Amino acid sequence: MEKEKETRPEGRQIVMSGIRPTGYLHLGNYFGALRNYVRMQEQYDCYFMVADWHSLTTHPDTKELKNSVLRVLAENIAAGIDPSKACLYVQSRIPEIAELYLILNMLAYKGELEKTSTFKEKVRLQPENVNAGLLTYPVLQAADILIHRARYVPVGKDQQQHLEMARNFAQRFNHRYGDLFQEPEAFNFGEELVKVPSLDGAGKMSKSENQFATLYLADDDDLIRKKVMKAKTDTGPTVKNSAKPPEIENIFQLMSLVSTEDTVKKFDEDYGNCTIRYGDLKKQLAEDMVKFISPIREKAENIYHDTAFLAQVVEQGTEKARKSAKATIELVRQRMEFNYF
Ligand code: TYM
């Protein structure tokens, strides 16, 4: 039993993560999630999913869903996911997730679900549509992860609480029905989880809010330049080696993601001795962003239009994901003694 909990037959640790198809992917999705996916696919048994069921909690209209799903798949591959190494699939093709979600719902309490920050935030944003799916969102996410008995979950900082909840649900299942799940952990290569700030200095980059303060992987070069040049700054430091105000700290943080160490160091020194020119800082950031984003955008555009290729990727992904999901559901049913005959 212990051995089964630790590893799967392949002997490699399992990794699982997902992205909702609710809009174009942005720099936050890249540095919070995709960058880790790409590195992890070399060492782990990876399952990466498009969370289309999850998107219904906030985007009930399904007219655009197909395009969004294809777009997210294309952007995953353009960012470096190799579908022959990592299993890339779509949530709604794996019915076993829904069965596990149903079971985990009986182990989740209304009080804890209501206290979740993402739930409270969504209630504030869409008071007219506080559906039960929104409340049980973290339970579905736990089912996504536990269906593969995953150990590591590469995500950004905003998902930390959901991961804690997934661990609680796993523990409750193990305690009540017998050891089955390992406790999944949020993962970022050797570091703190990432939160990529928005360009307006307020909050984080996001798929569907503050679009002018978010850099999307699909933005064209001019739009990237425009957005970066509009980033908020102040009048500049007047006292040597003073602390940076939040909006300037944000620009430096974004720079540290895409620019060379020497570039960041130079502007940092200029800031320290009060000679910095924010126009130059932003121009440099804009050019480094263009250099970073444009190859991904071009690749994604080509892949997005190759529907036959994407269909084949999903076919192959579904087959592997279902095999893993069926094996887990079989064990869940055994532990719960559902096999009556
Ligand atoms: P979603 O679609 O909002 O975001 C996808 C991934 O991008 C990360 N992310 C960020 N990281 C850093 N800075 C930001 N500004 C930023 N914005 C987004 C998110 O942390 C996430 O890793 N609930 C999930 C989807 C999901 C999932 C799962 C994740 C469904 N099932 C199972 C992991 C495992 C979500 O809404 O991600």
Q: Specify the pairing of strand 185-187 against strand 152-154.
A: parallel
204 is catalytic: yes
Angstrom CA distances, 163 to 17, 86, 200, 218, stand at 11, 21, 28, 29
- Residue labelled with tokens 């990466």: 48
266 is catalytic: no
Question: Which pLDDT does position 7 carry in this prediction?
Answer: 47
Beta strand segments in 31-104, E: 45-50, 87-90
Q: Which residue among the candidates 63, 66, 204, 291 is catalytic per the annotation?
A: 204
User: Which pair of tokens denotes residue 341?
Assistant: 């005959």
**Which amino acid does the sequence have at 308?**
A
Angstrom CA distances, 273 to 42, 236, 266, stand at 43, 11, 11
Q: Where do the domains of the chain lie, and which CATH numbers do they carry?
A: 14-187+306-335 (3.40.50.620), 211-300 (1.10.240.10)
- Mutating to test ligand 1, I would choose from 19, 38, 207 the residue with most ligand atoms within 8 A of its C-beta, which is 19
Q: What are phi and psi of 186, to 5 degrees?
A: -65, 140
- Rounded Cα distance between 27 and 16, Å, is 20
Beta bridge partners of 26: 216
**Which amino acid does the sequence have at 325?**
A
190: helix, strand or coil = coil
Mean predicted confidence (pLDDT) in 138-165: 98
Q: Residue 265 C-alpha to ligand 1 middle, in angstroms?
A: 30
122 is catalytic: yes
List, for residues 81-115, the tens digit of each pLDDT value: 999 999 999 999 999 999 999 999 999 999 999 99
Q: Is 122 in the pocket of ligand 1 (CB under 6 A)?
A: no
Q: Specify the pairing of strand 87-90 against strand 45-50.
A: parallel
Cβ-based neighbour number of residue 28 at 10 Å: 23
Q: Predicted confidence band at 209 (pLDDT cuts at 50, 70, 90)?
A: confident
Residue 186 confidence (pLDDT) above 90:
yes
Question: Which pLDDT does position 274 carry in this prediction?
Answer: 96
Question: Which pLDDT does position 201 carry in this prediction?
Answer: 77
- Rounded Cα distance between 109 and 290, Å, is 46
Closest residue by Cα to residue 254 from 204, 321, 183: 204
- Rounded Cα distance between 236 and 133, Å, is 47
Q: Residue 340 C-alpha to ligand 1 middle, in angstroms?
A: 39
- Mutating to test ligand 1, I would choose from 29, 151, 217 the residue with most ligand atoms within 8 A of its C-beta, which is 29
- Rounded Cα distance between 32 and 65, Å, is 23
Nearest-CA residue for atom 4 of ligand 1: 19
- Rounded Cα distance between 253 and 45, Å, is 31
List, for residues 24-42, the tens digit of each pLDDT value: 999 999 999 999 999 999 9
Residue 266 confidence (pLDDT) above 90:
yes
Mean predicted confidence (pLDDT) in 2-27: 79
- Rounded Cα distance between 92 and 55, Å, is 11
DSSP state of 34: I
Nearest-CA residue for atom 37 of ligand 1: 19
Question: Which pLDDT does position 8 carry in this prediction?
Answer: 56
Q: Predicted confidence band at 9 (pLDDT cuts at 50, 70, 90)?
A: low
Length of the chain: 341
- Rounded Cα distance between 115 and 129, Å, is 17
List, for residues 36-66, the tens digit of each pLDDT value: 999 999 999 999 999 999 999 999 999 999 9
